[in-house]
Structure 1
Amino acid sequence: MAQNLTTLYSKIFEFLHLYVRTSNMNNELQIYQFQSARDFLRYAWERKKRHNPAFSIRAWAQHLGLKSHGPLQQILARNRAVPKSYLPSLVNSLGLNMKEGIYLETLIALESTANEREKSFYHDRLRTLAPKGNGFQPMALENFKLVSDPVHFLIKVMVTRSDFSSNPSWIQSKLKLKRSLHEIKNVIDRLCELKLLKKTAHGNLSNNVSHASNRVDVPDRGVQAFHEEISKMAAEQVKSQPVSEREFNAYFLNIKKGSLKEAKTRLRELVKCFMEEFEALEGTSDETFVFNIQLFRAAERGEKK
């Protein structure tokens, strides 16, 4: 079982590094890759926030001409459907062209109906509007969410603990990465949908160790978000965790240009060896750690003399 878990972790590690090698890919998802207006607006909001950290939901609501930011906040939290009356302002704010605006309009209509015939009609329209080979790919979005939020991998590892409880409240109480119960439930559903976890009839979770990794074309922004979150958590824990329970080391060194590729290969081999030696057997541990390794440029190259 330990070997299976190590193999699984290695697949995940390779899965994350896939995006580093795909530098010719777009860095942003397109509206055609969404099946939900609220998911698209949440993604658009996060994108705006990345480009301008000071930009607030209140400011966006004012830009959209809303009297209050409350409804927009509820939409972004997936607690409220998008009113059709918001469409013109959203299209203008997000810089959507006519076809993209119609796609957003269809997403809004899809989420506003409970009629199965109408849902089928709107699904067909979405497929027609999406560019061939580029649109209506919900699994691309789900994998993007998987890769961009470390909580997915954290919960997946926690499932094998001896004290694990499938109760979202218990999971929430143990996480160092703070998430709402709603977010945790969504993470669990996503892991099950992607066959990384399986759920019994009684709601108990277990690892689906025999899964096959799905290497879809997900923008490398997902991996960047993942490492940003891990780095933020590390910055918090270096101050809050006792030194007996953590290990932080950092060294500055000069590396010859021709040696960098080999250095990165050696680091990946180190990760594999570390996991093989210290990964606990399933059901034998009640503690979860993150082994985070970094190598990046600390100073710019000088000009050749």
Structure 2
Amino acid sequence: MTLRTTALIAGALGLLLFIGGLIADAVRPSDVGEPRATLDTSVVVLEPDILALSPEAQLTVEGSGEIAAYVGRTSDAEAWIATRDVTFVTGVPVWEELAVEARDAQPVESSASPSPSASASASASAEPTAGASPSASPSASPAPSEAPVADIWRQHWTATGTLEMPVAQVPVGNTLVIESVDGTPLEAVQLTIPRAIDDAWVAPLKWWGAILAVIGIIALGSLIFDIRAARGRGESWAAARRQASPARPGGRRHRREELAATGGIPVVAEGDVAEPAVHADGEDDADRGSEAPEPEAAAPDGDDDEDGEVTR
């Protein structure tokens, strides 16, 4: 396997890793959860076990008027909410939803205390006097009279429209009660809870994928724009500069060099007309393939004059 093939394979794997990192980054959940629930009562209660789920959480309650939040002991809170329609936050089943439970107000037992009184008195004048004054005073109050805030609650906050507060402000072991002051139903309650997301592997996956993909792109470019011609010229230049080792005596290279030196192997330059080769015995191809030309007739003795006649 060549280096270029290895780089191409690494580039393909890097591209897959980079795409996987992008997908993981796109579907990564938020680092905070926002479970939410709608309300139809004027009071919502968060007990100590719910508040202890995430002390770093942020509580948000939405309404249409003035909203008040109270912190107190669980026993005091239960006595205060006994005669009210309330909604309890009971848990966080999923990161997008709060579990709530609505409870109706407990009926108040009525008490009747009839106190008839009759008094009969006899006077010396024999005038009977009888008086009866019956009185019944039943009492039933749908909401007990509220004591001052300082006597029932340890802390309290107020807001208009939306109340936001950190859960950490509520002391451990206490109950948080939130009500609409004018008695209108609250709209919604929400907790913003930090989440621990294990996504430390996403960034290295994208970086390594990008690096390998770049290597693959470079290898692909070298394959498309082939550099073999340039590499061949470089090798020829290096071979020309490199000193050739002497031929081994008796070898083919040695014999070829001797024949070239003695003329046994002709060296034809480019553009020249090829001449017949001269063999070792001194005869060329022309002498072997054709006979010698006949000699021309000898001229007669005597000198030729200028007119072409022969003088004897």
Q: Which has the higher contact order (CA 8 A, sep 6+)?
A: 2
| TM-score (structure 2 length as normaliser) | 0.19
Q: Which has more strand, going by share of residues?
A: 2
| TM-score (structure 1 length as normaliser) | 0.20
Q: Which has more helix, going by share of residues?
A: 1
